[in-house]
Structure 1
């Protein structure tokens, strides 16, 4: 073997050969094949010369035979020429024999290299048959030990610090070796040399290597020969392969080192592929974990979230979106969103924002209401539409957010209906504070307004019921409007009678004055109504009083509640209303004293209210100042 593919160095006085990683059986096989072709060409030339010589000898012999048959004796010179030609042919035969022997040796070497290449090819297939890193290292060592006839071997791979980390070790019987059993017998000097120089190394006799004397473990283990080579792929150092031999009968040769270098090239690619696959697998797991985490977040959101690609196809959806749309998840994913819109009661507003939002960076909204397709249930859904872009601003698709407002819309409708039956301030109080629905109340200083229609019983007898109801509704509307205009609370409709209170549930410091204003404006509004309609005049009477009362929820617990005020203050206001004549507003003496400077009133004769033991003073309101 000529050192054309490597150089020789001396290690501890012993011959040590360092071979370039690219030199190996393939290079040698190509060289041998070239030599065989050259030698076969020379053999063809020599055989041509030999054939010519044999022809000349044959011609001379034929001539001699003819002369002998004629009884002639051949001249001496002619005989000598025959002898020279025979000698030349004999020499050519010798050269041919020598050339054939050389060609046979070359062909034998070529067959040997071919066998090694076949072995490396089988090993490459074997290593590439798995992408599991652990299994790959085991296979690599088992195949290598068989290939070079080593007894033990180990693989060390680069760690994150730039050093080497022990990964695997095997014996020739395919048994794994524990790190503690083998690393102490390995030559760290040989490993470090290969790692630093990135060149294969062969030590012929480890027992007498001066440089290994510093590591008695290798010597004491009876190691006779060591080979070590780097693992490289894409100009990147991956690690080192190390094998040793304790037997003197099968020493490592330069051919073995060539095989080791070639093997390392194959193994490095396989290891790199396994690392790529492992990293890819880790990335896939990370992506799965992120997706699962994202799905958990999306599924915890009450709003429906749909992700569309640039073609409008649904690529992702959370559970809420399927629930809101009343569709199965599998019928959402992969479907064009325009088809999903068909289940909505009115998809046209969404299609409009879909068009306007294509080139916009702002979120567009549309509200749809009506029966959900194929299900019959009415829904109210707010649809948000916004662009989905990456960090570079490149549009990836669209995010659609669905907010199911059905319950909210229902609650609002119910609240509006509720407000038609209950004073709005009371509704607001109850919705802000659930405790506002508890039975009971509080004692507050309030002003009470009582009003009703005079002669309503007679009107009921004379008017058509439809006309009577229309007149009553008009009257109650006038009263309620003026009460609400001044922040009062209507607590009762009883036939043609209306009761309203001020300073409850909200504080109103000037509630006596607000009650008087309200009563005065009610009278003016009814008189204008009579003039405007031309109908039979609605005659009214109003009574006002101020004082303490219990204000709160009265009724059947858990069944029906009524927000009102009870107490003597309410009774006195009602007695004043009953005592008032047609189109008269009566103020209690208590209320009048609190607003005397703001109104004009006439004192009436004291009277004894029904159910009262004492007389009651009152004032007739005649004007507001």
Structure 2
């Protein structure tokens, strides 16, 4: 009789499905409870995240551990290149090895053998998408290892578990991709079903709009690889300071970045503006430091223009029927765009609208009123500096 005959019902009805780690740990305990002689189980899953290659979960009868793997080093790391995982990835077939002899080309197996394990088997998880790593391995300390019946039962258990794991992995991939390409708040709205063209909500937000000065000339005179490196460094600083203050980048446009700091239950208009200003000040501090390093290496500095405004905007879907953008539109966004041109004309790295200035305690310099194209009334603007009455 199959010792795992109760596993299908358990997976369908009783198994915890709130996370991969919870499901994996419960699965291991259930397989042991039904009589499988396993003492160590490892689960390796690959995702789609710009910094994280995937996750490894390790279960023993004493503990569960989990860790992320770095995308930059995972494919070339010695631990992967000399591992059963690589063999299974390349062959698409199960790998089994009795641990009664040294395995000099597979250090993990030597480690398991010295730790008292006698047999090891790794199976590819039969996901529909076979383009990424999805493997699970079992090791036993039983003197006789795994017999054919146990191996067949473990393979059966893996096939049963696979669709439940793939469902969780696909959701994680979806969330990671949306976080990466549209931002966590916007991504959550899309997952919740806000996908109809023209479906928007009115929100109040501080607008954070910045771009590089002289980018066209830089692109004409600098190799593309260097231009991309400059952009990525610059955008990287913007992303870190905006996220640190609770803002969200909506889009990168060439050399420009548009972000918002929405008001919410725990963040009123004043708080949103102050967080946007704090991000602008930290951004300027860090880009100044980056320019100092560039000068020390004989490279020209990279100047920027950055503006802040605040107001009500329409936040949601615009675009073509089959290609939409989740963005913000409204007078505050339009004014921010015009202010950005003004900042370049005045050669000021940061400009703050009158509406934002009224919400700040930051010392500001009054630059007076200026005409903005397509904006009805002249706009009073400020730059960071000594405190001026607003």
- Same fold per TM (> 0.5)? yes
Q: Residues 349-428 of structure 1: matches in 2 within 5 Å?
A: 352=112, 380-382=134-136, 402=158, 403-404=161-162, 405-428=165-188
1:542 maps onto 2:306 in alignment: yes
In the alignment, the residues of structure 2 paired with residue 561 and residue 438 of structure 1 have an alpha-carbon distance, to the nearest angstrom, of 9
Q: Residues 109-120 of structure 1: matches in 2 within 5 Å?
A: none
1:449 maps onto 2:208 in alignment: yes
1:530 maps onto 2:291 in alignment: yes
Root-mean-square deviation (CA), in Å? 4.6
* Contact 1:367–1:380 (8 Å) recurs in 2: no
Q: SS at the partner of 1:604? A: strand
Q: 1:567: how far off?
A: 0.2
Q: SS at the partner of 2:334? A: helix
* Contact 1:489–1:504 (8 Å) recurs in 2: no
Q: Which structure carries more relative contact order (alpha carbon 8 Å, separation 6+)?
A: 2
Q: 1:446: how far off?
A: 0.6
1:437 maps onto 2:195 in alignment: yes
Question: In the TM superposition, what whole-angstrom CA distance separates every residue of 1:273-321 from its partner, at most 9, and x where no partner exists?
Answer: xxxxxxxxxxxxxxx9xx9x958736857998868998969xxxxxxxx
Q: For 1:344, which of 75, 85, 94 is the aligned residue?
A: 94
Q: For 1:465, which of 204, 224, 236 is the aligned residue?
A: 224
Q: For 1:487, which of 234, 246, 251 is the aligned residue?
A: 246
In the alignment, the residues of structure 1 paired with residue 33 and residue 117 of structure 2 have an alpha-carbon distance, to the nearest angstrom, of 13
**Change beyond 3 A, Cα 1:298–1:532:** same
Question: Which segments of 5 or more consecutive residues in structure 2 lack a partner in the other structure?
Answer: 16-22, 39-87, 98-107, 142-149
Comparing both structures, which one devotes a greater share of its residues to helix? 1
Q: Residues 589-604 of structure 1: matches in 2 within 5 Å?
A: 589-595=354-360, 598-604=361-367
Structure with larger Rg:
1
Match in the other structure for 2:369:
606
Q: For 1:556, which of 297, 320, 323 is the aligned residue?
A: 320
* Contact 1:589–1:617 (8 Å) recurs in 2: yes
Q: SS at the partner of 2:369? A: coil
In the alignment, the residues of structure 2 paired with residue 367 and residue 496 of structure 1 have an alpha-carbon distance, to the nearest angstrom, of 51
In the alignment, the residues of structure 2 paired with residue 605 and residue 367 of structure 1 have an alpha-carbon distance, to the nearest angstrom, of 74
Q: 1:590: how far off?
A: 1.1
Aligned length in residues: 288
* Contact 2:121–2:139 (8 Å) recurs in 1: no
Q: 1:454: how far off?
A: 1.3
Q: For 1:570, which of 323, 330, 333 is the aligned residue?
A: 333
Q: SS at the partner of 1:569? A: helix
Q: 1:483: how far off?
A: 0.9
**Change beyond 3 A, Cα 1:536–1:588:** same
Q: 1:357: how far off?
A: 8.6
TM-score of the superposed pair, with normalisation by structure 2: 0.60
**Change beyond 3 A, Cα 1:356–1:450:** same
Q: Residues 73-88 of structure 1: matches in 2 within 5 Å?
A: none
Q: SS at the partner of 2:379? A: coil
Q: SS at the partner of 1:599? A: coil
In the alignment, the residues of structure 2 paired with residue 438 and residue 486 of structure 1 have an alpha-carbon distance, to the nearest angstrom, of 30
Runs of 4+ in 1 over 6 A off after TM superposition: 301-313, 346-349, 355-358, 366-369, 384-387
Q: 1:623: how far off?
A: 6.3
In the alignment, the residues of structure 1 paired with residue 250 and residue 173 of structure 2 have an alpha-carbon distance, to the nearest angstrom, of 22
* Contact 1:426–1:505 (8 Å) recurs in 2: no
Match in the other structure for 1:208:
none
* Contact 1:425–1:505 (8 Å) recurs in 2: no
Question: In the TM superposition, what whole-angstrom CA distance separates every residue of 1:128-161 from its partner, at most 9, and x where no partner exists?
Answer: xxxxxxxxxxxxxxxxxxxxxxxxxxxxxxxxxx
